[in-house]
Amino acid sequence: MPEFCDVALAVPLDMVFTYRVPADAAPVVGGRVLVPFRQQRMTGVVVELHDHEPSVATKKLISVLDSAPVLDQVLLRLARWIANYYLAPLGEVCRSMLPLMAEFKRAVGYRIGEAGEMALHLAGMSGSSARSRRSPQEQAVEFQVLDYMAGTSGELVRETTLRSATHASRKILQGMVRKKWLVREDLSAPQEANRTVKVALLKSVDRKLNQNQRTLVESLAGCGGKLPIEHLQGLAVPRTTLGTLVKRGLVEIAEEPADFKVSGARPRPSPFDFDFTPAQQSALARLRQAVEARSFSGMLMHGVTGSGKTAVYLAGMRAVLEAGRSAILLVPEIGLTPAVAADLHQIFGDEVAILHSALTDRERAEQWHRIKSGDARIVVGTRSAVFAPVGDLALIIVDEEHDSSYKQEETPRYHARDIAVMRAKMCNAVVVLGSATPSLESYFNARQSKYALIELPDRVEKRPLPEVAIVDMRLEFQETGHEQVISRTLASEIKDRIERREQVMVLLNRRGYSPVVLCRTCGKKLECNNCAIALTHHKREHRMICHYCGYTAAVPNACAHCGSEYVYFLGTGSEKLEELLHGMFPQARIARLDRDTVRGHQDFERTLSALNEGELDVLVGTQMIAKGHDIHGVTLVGVVGADVALGLPDFRAAERTFQLLTQVAGRAGRGQSPGKVILQTYFQDHYAVQYAARHDFIGFYEKELQFRSWMHYPPYSALANVLVRSDQLDDALEWSGRLGKWFNQTRHEGVRVLGPAAAPIMRLKRDYRYHFVLKSPSREKLNTTLRSMLAYAAQQKIPRTQVIVDMDALWLM
Ligand SMILES: [Zn+2]
Ligand SMILES: [Zn+2]
Type of residue found at 807: M
Q: Which ligand is nearest to the CA of 552?
A: 2
pLDDT of residue 99: 83
pLDDT of residue 32: 93
Q: Which ligand is nearest to the CA of 566?
A: 1
Q: Which ligand is nearest to the CA of 567?
A: 1
Give 510 Cα–ligand 1 centroid separation in angstroms. 25
Give 171 Cα–ligand 2 centroid separation in angstroms. 27
pLDDT reading at 294 higher than 50: yes
pTM for the whole thing? 0.84
Give 558 Cα–ligand 1 centroid separation in angstroms. 8
Give 768 Cα–ligand 2 centroid separation in angstroms. 12
Query: Are 526 and 560 a contacting pair, CB within 8 Å?
Result: yes
Give 764 Cα–ligand 2 centroid separation in angstroms. 6
The partner residues of 186 in beta bridges, in order of sequence, read: 108
Give 385 Cα–ligand 1 centroid separation in angstroms. 50
Give 550 Cα–ligand 1 centroid separation in angstroms. 24
Give 520 Cα–ligand 1 centroid separation in angstroms. 7
Q: Which ligand is nearest to the CA of 529?
A: 2
Give 97 Cα–ligand 2 centroid separation in angstroms. 30
- Residue range 319-332: average pLDDT? 94
Tell me which range, 141-155, 166-180, 190-204, 218-232, is most confidently predicted by mean pLDDT.
Answer: 166-180
Which comes out higher in pLDDT, residue 679 or 628? Answer: 679
Strands 297-303 and 430-435: parallel
Give 766 Cα–ligand 2 centroid separation in angstroms. 8
Q: Which ligand is nearest to the CA of 763?
A: 2
Which comes out higher in pLDDT, residue 9 or 166? Answer: 9
CA dihedral of 493, 499, 501, 505, whole degrees rounded to 10: 30
Distance CA 393, CA 761 (A): 42
Give 360 Cα–ligand 1 centroid separation in angstroms. 46
Kindly indicate the confidence band of residue 251, based on its pLDDT and cuts at 50, 70 and 90: confident
Query: Are 250 and 393 a contacting pair, CB within 8 Å?
Result: no
Residue 406 DSSP symbol:
G
CA angle 430/434/438 to nearest 5° reads 125
Q: Which ligand is nearest to the CA of 544?
A: 2
- Of 255-264, 355-364, 747-756, the one with minimum mean pLDDT is 255-264
Query: Would you mind telling me the total number of residues written for the chain in this entry?
Result: 813
Give 357 Cα–ligand 2 centroid separation in angstroms. 24
For 373-431, where are the alpha helices, taking DSSP H only?
Answer: 416-426
Tell me which range, 44-48, 149-153, 308-312, is most confidently predicted by mean pLDDT.
Answer: 44-48
- Of 161-165, 446-450, 783-787, 788-792, the one with minimum mean pLDDT is 161-165
Closest CA to 399 of 292, 290, 316: 316
pLDDT reading at 608 higher than 90: no
Q: Give phi and psi for 671, each to the nearest 5.
A: -105, -145
Give 444 Cα–ligand 2 centroid separation in angstroms. 37
| pLDDT tens digits, 102-129 | 667 778 889 888 888 888 888 766 554 5
Give 99 Cα–ligand 2 centroid separation in angstroms. 30
pLDDT of residue 265: 47
Helix orientation angle between 73-85 and 416-426, rounded to the nearest 10 degrees: 140
- Of 217-221, 459-463, 579-583, 598-602, the one with minimum mean pLDDT is 598-602
Distance CA 725, CA 664 (A): 36
Give 579 Cα–ligand 2 centroid separation in angstroms. 26
Residue 535 DSSP symbol:
P
Give 649 Cα–ligand 1 centroid separation in angstroms. 27
Give 566 Cα–ligand 1 centroid separation in angstroms. 8
Give 556 Cα–ligand 1 centroid separation in angstroms. 11
| pLDDT tens digits, 137-158 | 888 889 889 988 888 877 889 8
pLDDT reading at 263 higher than 60: no
Query: Are 804 and 714 a contacting pair, CB within 8 Å?
Result: no
Distance CA 633, CA 653 (A): 31
Query: Are 176 and 116 a contacting pair, CB within 8 Å?
Result: yes
pLDDT of residue 204: 78
pLDDT reading at 217 higher than 90: no
Q: Which ligand is nearest to the CA of 524?
A: 1
pLDDT of residue 211: 82
pLDDT of residue 188: 78
Query: How many helices (H) and strands (E) in the chain?
Result: 24, 35
Query: Are 518 and 602 a contacting pair, CB within 8 Å?
Result: no
Give 539 Cα–ligand 1 centroid separation in angstroms. 21
Q: Which ligand is nearest to the CA of 764?
A: 2
Q: Which ligand is nearest to the CA of 551?
A: 2
pLDDT reading at 13 higher than 70: yes
| pLDDT tens digits, 651-663 | 999 999 999 999 8
Give 765 Cα–ligand 2 centroid separation in angstroms. 6
Q: Which ligand is nearest to the CA of 559?
A: 1
Type of residue found at 553: A
Give 726 Cα–ligand 2 centroid separation in angstroms. 15
Q: Which ligand is nearest to the CA of 532?
A: 2
Q: Which ligand is nearest to the CA of 549?
A: 2
| pLDDT tens digits, 675-721 | 999 999 998 899 999 999 999 999 999 999 999 999 999 999 999 99
Q: Which ligand is nearest to the CA of 550?
A: 2
Q: Is 101 helix (H, G, I), strand (E, B) or coil?
A: helix
Give 564 Cα–ligand 1 centroid separation in angstroms. 5
Residue 213 gets the label, from left (phi > 0), alpha (psi -120 to 50) or beta, of alpha
Instruction: Provide the b/e sequence for 622-631 (b: ≥16 CB within 10 Å).
Output: bbbbbbbbbb
